[in-house]
Structure 1
Amino acid sequence: MFPVGGVGVMLAGVALATVLCAALAAALWRRVGPVTALALAGLVGSVVVIGLITLIPADGAPGVVYAEGRLDTCSWDIGGPAPDGFWIFSGGQRLLNLAVFVPPGALLVVSAARWLRWTPVTVPVGLAALAAYSVGIEWTQLELARLDRACDVTDIIDNVTGAVLGVGVGIVLAMTLRPWRSRYPA
């Protein structure tokens, strides 16, 4: 039996992640500057939050999921029926899947922009890592039936689309914030 679940557990995890990421930002502040410290801590925090909201059962601990009720494969019904989303974010599951990957995409670019010479390498590698993270989440949802979650290829498409949009937002933010001009040593 999966022992935890529900929105309360998710929110408690988000609160704990926020505290830990604030500590990370404080530790990095003098080393890399405030913009990069906040971007790196925010990137780590957003990835942790995505894990929490996608890998903790939404409606509490589901108990036992019998083999007969377990899906054997991911849904390949691209753009097929999706739930309406959560009470916290209305507008549909697909919009939610897209929206949660925008912040890590944007923060990836802002944090990578601190080291301009490496940005052309780190941003595509980071984007590929976010895509792999999405695939890993869906695979975990498929393999661990006790999570009471469903694996869906549409989720991966929406997540990667959100990350790509986030990279676009991150480019604008990086050009505005200019983390490479920090007076802190690189």
Structure 2
Amino acid sequence: MTPAGGIEVMLLWVSLSGAFFGLLALVMRRRLGTVSAFAISGFLWSLVVIAIVTLLPTDPDLGVVPAEGRATSCSTDIGGPAPDGFWILAGGQRLLNTLLFIPSGALLVLGASRWRIGWVLVPLGVAGLAAYSGLIELAQLELARLDRACDLTDVVDNVSGAAVGVVVGLVLVLVLRPWRRGRM
């Protein structure tokens, strides 16, 4: 049986999806300009990466989690007992949850800034990222086989990361000026 989880599987899916969204950006480039095409495609890719990292089991040989061992509700203990996280970051799972959403927030701003309605799209996008985080936590609760925990702290960390990303995106907009399609 092929492993359905683990770091290697995650990296494989991240790479394959990255290649797909890179090609999508190249296709959109002529119509939207380089910065906007790669920002929009990168934003979509970041959503896929978040799903891969949060919804695939971390252990490649994960068995079935018994119904008795499955959590029946989300933890509402803000800042509660979070595990140390992946081998990727020594700062722990809370730092990883925050960092995971920073690119989404930054690319959201960069992609939306090309249009005048961007000032409406960005707050709606941040609300959408918060809802996406909540849906991921609910999926982790309902899909017991993932052996993941539903935790309100993760949503807080994810939204914090998206907010930091928006600030980073605002700085990038001033530097890259995506509305000037002919220059990039």
TM range (shorter): over 0.9
Where does residue 126 of structure 2 map in the other structure?
Answer: 127
Unaligned runs of 5+ in 2: none
Alpha-carbon separation, structure 2, partners of 1:101 and 1:109: 13
**Secondary structure, aligned partner of 1:180:** coil
- Superposed CA deviations along residues 108-129 of structure 1, whole A, max 9, x for unmatched, are 00000111x1111110111111
Q: Which runs of 4+ in 1 moved over 3 A?
A: none
Q: Does 1:5 align with 2:18?
A: no
Alpha-carbon separation, structure 2, partners of 1:54 and 1:86: 11
Q: 1:85: how far off?
A: 1.3
Q: 1:12: how far off?
A: 0.5
Distance 1:104 1:164, change over 3 A: same
Where does residue 98 of structure 1 map in the other structure?
Answer: 98
Q: 1:62: how far off?
A: 1.7
Q: How do 1:59-98 and structure 2 match up within 5 A?
A: 59-98=59-98
Alpha-carbon separation, structure 2, partners of 1:74 and 1:65: 17
Where does residue 173 of structure 1 map in the other structure?
Answer: 172
Q: 1:61: how far off?
A: 4.0
Asked if the contact 2:5/2:58 (under 8 Å) is kept, the reply is: yes
Q: How do 1:105-184 and structure 2 match up within 5 A?
A: 105-115=105-115, 117-183=116-182
Q: 1:84: how far off?
A: 1.1
Q: 1:3: how far off?
A: 6.1
Percent identity of equivalent pairs? 58
Unaligned runs of 5+ in 1: none
Where does residue 43 of structure 1 map in the other structure?
Answer: 43
Calculate the aligned-residue CA RMSD, in Å: 1.3
